[in-house]
Structure 1
C-alpha cells in the first residue's frame, strides 16, 4: 500500500487511452512518474453508451490521483467517438482527439507484434503521456450541420452517378424497356432536386454566419480551391482549422 501511495504522489501526468469501436470503449490508464518513466497500470472495456460513460468515469476516479489532471486521448474514428467526446466536454474533462494515421505511425515505432483493441488503447495512452497535446474544442453547431449536409450531398451525387451509369448501360441494350428507362430518369431528376435542396440549406447557413462566410472566402481564394471544396474543408477539419486561420 505504501508503494502505491508514493507512486501516486509522484505522478506528473495521467492519461486514459481510449480505443473506440461502435459498441465499446477499450481503455488503458497510464501515468508519467517523477523519474519520467511511464506506467500503464489498468485496463478495462466499457459499453459505448451513456451508462458506460458514467461507469468509466467512476472507474477512472477510483484509480487516479485527484490532484493531477486526467487527460482523455482517443482517435477520431468516424462518428463512433463523438458521443463520448461530447459527454466528456459536458463534464469538463481534458480531451485530445488524434488523427488515426498519427496513432498508426506511432504504433509502428513500438514494434507491436499483434495489434488488438487492448494494444491500441495502450499505445494511445503512451502517446498521450509522451506528447503535449492540444485540447479538443467542441465544434459549433453550424459546422456540425455543414458536415452533415456536405456528407449527404456526397452520397446523393454518388448515387446519381451510379444511376446514370445504369441508365447508359440499359439504354444501349438491343430492346430496352422504356418504362424502366423512364424510372431511372425520374430517379436522376429526384436526386438532382435533392442536391439543389442541400445546396440551398448550405447557402442559408453561410449567409447567417458572417465569420463562416469570411472563412469560406479566405480558403476559396487559394488557387484551385472552389467554394464547395472550401466548405467541405471547414466542415471536416473544424476546429483544427481554427487553430491556424488568420
Structure 2
C-alpha cells in the first residue's frame, strides 16, 4: 500500500439521548478520509452497537482514538465505558472545540458536523488522553449537586411559608405540612454533608488538598468540595485560562467599526454550578480578605457597578482554588 492509513480517530458529538459518530482516517500523504458516520442511542446498548459498527471501517493494525467534547454530564457514561474498555479517549473543552472549528471556517452547526470536526481534530492534533476520576470524586459531585438542589427547594418553601403566615387567617394544617417538608429537607442536607465528610475521611490525600483550599477566607468546606467536584479535581485543565473559560468567566467583547461597540462582559457559557457556588464566597472574601477587598473596591469605584467587582472576585477565587489544589499548599496572603 503506497498511501497507508497512519492515524484513526472517532469523533463523537453527545446529547442527552443520542451520540453522533464520525470516523476519520489520516493517510500518509496527510489527506483525511471520512469513511462513514452514524447516530446511536446514548445508552450502554448504543455504545456496544457503535463499537461493532466501527469495526467495519477501521484498519485493525492502526490504533483507534476517540474524541468527544465535555458536554455537561452527558459525555461521562460513554467516556467511562471507553476508558474501562481500554480505548484511548480525549475529552476536550468547549473553547478548544470552538477554536478548532473556527480554524476550519465551518459556519454550520449540527450534531453530524460537530462529530466530523471532532473526528478531524483527533487525527490532526495531538490531544491529551482522558483518565477516569476516582469514585470518591464522582460521589462528591453527585452529593454536591443534590445538596444545591435541596437548598434551592428549601429557599422556595421558606418563601412560601413566609407568604402563607402573613396572609389573612392562614390554614394551620397547611403551615404544619410545609414546616414538615422543611424539616425533612434540613435532615437530608445534614445527611449529605455527613456523607461528604465520610468520603474525605477515607481519602486523606484529597482531604489534605481540600483543607488547603479552605484556608482562603470566604471558602468553606462545602464550597471547596463543590468547585473541586464540578471540575473533577481540575483533571482536564492545563492552564488558568482554560478553567476560567470552562466556568464562563472569560471576557467577551463585540466591536466593529463605529456601529458596534458593546461593553465587555463575561461569556456565561461555562459551568453555571461553579458560578452559583462562588457567588456568596466572593462577597465574603470581598469583605474579609484584604487583597480581594482592595480589588473589589478598585473595580467598583472604576465601573460604579458592584456586580463587576463581585464577578472579578469570583474569578480570582476560582483561580486561587485551582492553584492551591494543584500545588497542595495553603493560602499565603503575602
Q: TM-score range by the shorter chain?
A: 0.7 to 0.9
What is the rounded CA distance, in whole Å, between the counterparts of 1:235 and 1:15 in structure 2?
Answer: 29
Aligned length: 240
What is the deviation of 1:68? Answer: 2.0
Q: Can you list the C-alpha shifts for 1:152-193, whole angstroms capped at 9, x where unaligned?
A: 101110110111111122222233222212222221121111
For residue 243 of structure 1, report the CA deviation from its aligned partner: 7.2
Are 1:13 and 2:11 an aligned pair? Answer: no
Q: Distance in 1 between matches of 2:23 and 2:202?
A: 44
RMSD over aligned Cα atoms: 2.2
Does the 8 Å contact 2:89/2:130 carry over to 1?
Answer: yes
Normalised to the residue count of structure 2, the TM-score between the two structures is 0.66
Match for residue 70 of structure 1?
64
1:179 maps to 173
CA contact (8 A) 1:138 1:239 kept: no
Aligned-residue offset at 1:50:
2.6
- For residues 76-123 of structure 1, give each alpha carbon's deviation from its aligned partner in whole angstroms, at most 9, with x where no partner exists: 233332222222112110011122343244434444343211011112
Q: What are the residue-to-residue correspondences of 1:37-52 with 2, within 5 Å?
A: 37-52=31-46
Quick one: which of 199, 208, 225 aligns to 1:214?
Answer: 208
TM-score (norm 1): 0.87
Contact 2:35/2:57 (<8 A) preserved? no
1:96 to 90, 94, 113: 90
- Residue segments in structure 1 that go unaligned for 5+ positions in a row: none
